[in-house]
Amino acid sequence: MSVDLRFTKGQGTGNDFVLFLDPDGHHDLSPSQVAALCDRRFGIGADGVLRAVRSENIAAGGAALAEDPAAEWFMDYRNADGSIAEMCGNGIRVFVRYLIENGVVELVPGRTLPIGTRAGVRDVIRSGTGFQVDLGRWRLEPDETLVSAREVPVARPGLGIDVGNPHVVVALADDAELEAADLTVIPHLDPAPVEGANVEFVVPREPLVRDGVGRIRMRVHERGSGETLSCGTGAAAAALAVRHWAGAGAPNEWRVDVPGGTVGVRMFPAEDGEHVALSGPAELVFEGDLSIA
């Protein structure tokens, strides 16, 4: 049996997604269907799929509604290989743009839109021409991970950071080393995290801090999607790692340059501890109809 869907292609700093509305939760695609959609030669091509489903119509939505009954919509995120991930920082901005453009939600400046995700409810607000998402509390992993990547001369220590999904951040020596890293091959992590991890390679800008804002460059190999032009949660993890390494006095506001553009990261105190927020653009590119077997 085939499934007919109206889809939209969207992107945030070049991290691209296929989006579709499934309010009643009738189209829970299989991993192979997702992989087929994301295939850049045989499908539409994307780093992931975002299914917009009402929280009441997806099993994981129960926890979201318990956390915040106003979280009417749930972002069901899949990586390009069909695997499930807890959270997507670029995706959620594109997701909110998509809900707004489709007239299913309103988001007036100054108001917050709660979205259900597998990492918990995430609050989104408008920010400039894009959106800002509060990624909530973050966690430093206690143990160091040794990271080896092709064309990076020696294995480097990586810092594990959870921002709703898992990341390992590695500092490289300079821009030349960052550019030379071959991320077509999955970086090797030792010990290997059971659930896998997204791996961010970072270098500081010169100077690291300008006008009170920290500045870094980053490339990423995403779990389940390979190298992408940007990873929002990865940018947040990278800024948190560099602030950690920089020590006392390091700023709480960061600009992270990725191959697909620039995103902003901000750390701020909240009632339950420090939160990290991500801001950046979100664009819808084209739409069409598809039929998947």
Ligand X SMILES: N[C@@H](CCC[C@H](N)C(=O)O)C(=O)O
Residues with catalytic function: 88, 231
* 223 annotated as belonging to a binding site for a ligand: yes
Does the protein bind ligand X through residue 11 (CB under 6 A)?
no
Segment 98-102 long-range contacts (CB within 8 Å, at least 24 positions apart): 98/8, 98/10, 98/19, 98/50, 98/52, 98/284, 99/52, 99/73, 101/284, 102/21
State yes or no: residue 225 binds ligand X (CB under 6 A): yes
58 is a site residue for ligand X (CB under 6 A): no
Cβ at position 84, least distance to ligand X in Å = 8
Which residues sit opposite 279 in a β-bridge? 132, 264
Tell whether residue 15 is a contact of ligand X (CB under 6 A). yes
CB closer to ligand X, 56 vs 283: 283
| Interacting positions 19-48 with ligand X (CB under 6 A) | 48
* 102 annotated to bind ligand: no
* 224: contact with ligand X by CB under 6 A: yes
46 versus 99: smaller Cβ distance to ligand X: 46
Q: Burial of 145 by CB count in 10 Å (0-12 exposed, 13-18 middle, 19+ buried)?
A: buried
Near ligand X by CB under 6 A, which window of 50-58, 118-126, 138-146, 216-224? Answer: 216-224
| Residues in region 127-186 near ligand X by CB under 6 A | 165
Task: Identify which of residues 33 and 111 has a Cβ nearer to ligand X in the complex.
Answer: 33
Q: Which is nearer to ligand X, 54 or 223 (by Cβ)?
A: 223
Tokens representing 260 are: 């697909």
Least separation, in Å, of the C-beta of 207 and ligand X?
27
In sequence order, what are the residues at sequence separation of 6 or more whose Cβ sits closer than 8 angstroms to the Cβ of residue 260?
A: 11, 13, 14, 15, 228, 229, 230
194 CB-side CA count, 13 A = 0
118 labelled binding-site residue: no
Residues between 86 and 115 with contacts to ligand X, criterion CB under 6 A: 88-91
Residue 211: CA count within 13 A, CB half-sphere: 1
79 is an annotated ligand-binding site residue: yes
Q: Which two tokens stand for residue 9?
A: 């292609």
For residue 188, the minimal CB distance to ligand X (Å) is 17
> What distance in Å separates the CA atoms of residue 250 and residue 239, rounded to the nearest whole number?
10
**Binding of ligand X by 223 (CB under 6 A):** yes
If the CB atoms of residues 55 and 225 are measured against ligand X, the closer one turns out to be 225
Q: How far apart are CA 190 and CA 196, in angstroms?
A: 11
Annotated ligand binding at 233? The verdict is yes
Q: Is the dihedral of CA 80, 71, 286, 255 positive or negative?
A: negative
**Residue ranges binding ligand X (CB under 6 A):** 15, 48, 79, 85, 88-91, 165, 198, 222-225, 228, 231-234
